């Protein structure tokens, strides 16, 4: 297969017309790539969890790029032009909300916070507001309105899904792209790599275990996967 792109955690290959094959790697990074490691089995777990969550969202009306899971590491997806925005939804203060704004870790927000960052490693993924996004030609105001609505709908669905397995969705990151027909779709992945998940003691079951050296990353991811596959 012809490789189209390689990122920190995935490789994208050319597939059938208007399709791509996405392969999940075992690589783990934090701090914009400052911390790196290869963790055996991480890619397999992220592929399984992403497939479960994207399928769940699709059943509830969220359009995604996922077509099918091919094997333990690969998924077949619609080819999209990815909008270079990271859409972050925050329900509880953690991570950069604590570092940047001094919020107390664990503070529950009265309503979800939706923020955007420019998906650009060279610039350090800076935060953007709607005016920045429109001025830079990254998305239109109509597209941003749609993306925000989808992000909040996805948040509601994921909160409910994770609550069933005894987990709290603290925050998560989304990406969107346009397919060949110009339809905006949810793309990339949904896994503990880009979702913060806590149990009732605020113990992390996500990539913070790697970022903070706070526990066995694979054990955390396996817990999420095993619980998700056993519940509907």
Give the pLDDT confidence score for residue 231 in this predicted structure.
87
Of 29-38, 84-93, 133-142, 144-153, least confident by mean pLDDT is 29-38
pTM for this prediction: 0.96
Q: What is the DSSP string of 61-83?
A: T--BSEEEE-SSSEEEEE--EE-
On the question of pLDDT at 32 being above 80, the answer is: no
Contact 220, 206 (CB under 8 A): yes
Per-residue pLDDT of 158-178, as tens digits, reads 999 999 999 999 999 999 999
Counting beta carbons within 10 angstroms of the beta carbon of residue 175, is it exposed (0 to 12), middle (13 to 18) or buried (19 or more)? buried
What CATH superfamily is the domain 3-78?
Answer: Phosphorylase Kinase; domain 1 (3.30.200.20)
For CATH 3.30.470.20, the residue range(s) in the chain are 83-217
Query: Rounded CA gap, 165 and 60, in Å?
Result: 18
Of the candidates 132, 40, 43, the one whose C-alpha atom is nearest the C-alpha of residue 84 is: 132
The CATH class given to the 83-217 domain equals alpha beta
Cα 126 to Cα 9: distance, rounded to the nearest angstrom: 20
Phi-psi label, residue 65: left if phi above 0, alpha if psi -120 to 50, beta otherwise? alpha
pLDDT of residue 165: 98
pLDDT of residue 6: 95
Q: DSSP strand E in 62-194: where?
A: 66-69, 74-78, 81-82, 85-92, 108-118, 127-128, 168-178, 184-187
Q: Where in the chain is the domain with CATH 3.30.200.20?
A: 3-78
pLDDT of amino acid 81: 97
Q: Is the pLDDT of residue 142 over 80?
A: yes
Element (H, E) at 221: helix 217-230
Q: Quick one: pLDDT at residue 31?
A: 76
Span 174-229, pLDDT tens digits: 999 999 999 999 999 999 999 999 999 999 999 999 999 999 999 999 999 999 99
Q: Cite the DSSP H helix spans in 7-140.
A: 42-59, 96-101, 130-135
* 232, pLDDT greater than 90: no
Q: Could you tell me the two tokens for 126?
A: 């800076």
Cα separation, 119 vs 134, in Å, equals: 15
| Sign of the dihedral defined by the CA atoms of residues 76, 72, 85, 103, in that order | positive
β-sheet bridge partners, residue 22: 12, 75
Mean of per-residue pLDDT scores for the chain? 97
Assess whether pLDDT exceeds 80 at residue 37.
yes
Residue 100 has pLDDT above 80, yes or no: yes
Residue 33 has pLDDT above 80, yes or no: no
Q: Which of the 8 DSSP states describes residue 134? A: H
């Amino acid at each position: 297969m012809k490789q189209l792109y390689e990122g920190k955690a995935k490789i994208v290959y050319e597939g059938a017309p208007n399709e791509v094959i996405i392969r999940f790697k075992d690589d783990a990074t934090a701090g914009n790539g400052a911390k790196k490691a290869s963790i055996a089995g991480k890619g397999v777990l992220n592929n399984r969890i992403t497939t479960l969550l994207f399928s769940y969202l699709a059943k509830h009306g969220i359009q995604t790029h996922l077509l099918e899971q091919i094997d333990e590491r690969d998924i077949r997806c619609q080819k999209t032009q990815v909008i270079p925005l990271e859409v972050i939804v925050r329900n509880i203060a953690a991570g950069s909300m604590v570092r940047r704004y001094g919020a107390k870790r664990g503070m529950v927000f009265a309503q979800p916070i939706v923020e955007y960052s420019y998906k650009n490693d060279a610039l350090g993924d800076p935060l953007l507001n709607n005016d920045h996004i429109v001025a830079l030609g990254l998305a239109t105001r109509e597209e941003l309105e749609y993306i925000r609505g989808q992000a909040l709908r996805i948040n509601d669905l994921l909160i409910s899904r994770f609550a069933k397995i005894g987990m709290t969705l603290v925050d998560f990151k989304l990406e969107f792209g346009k397919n060949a027909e110009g339809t905006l779709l949810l793309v990339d992945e949904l896994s503990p790599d880009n979702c913060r998940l806590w149990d009732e003691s605020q113990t992390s079951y996500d990539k913070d275990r790697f970022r903070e050296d706070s526990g066995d990353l694979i054990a955390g991811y396996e817990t999420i996967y095993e619980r998700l596959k056993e519940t509907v």
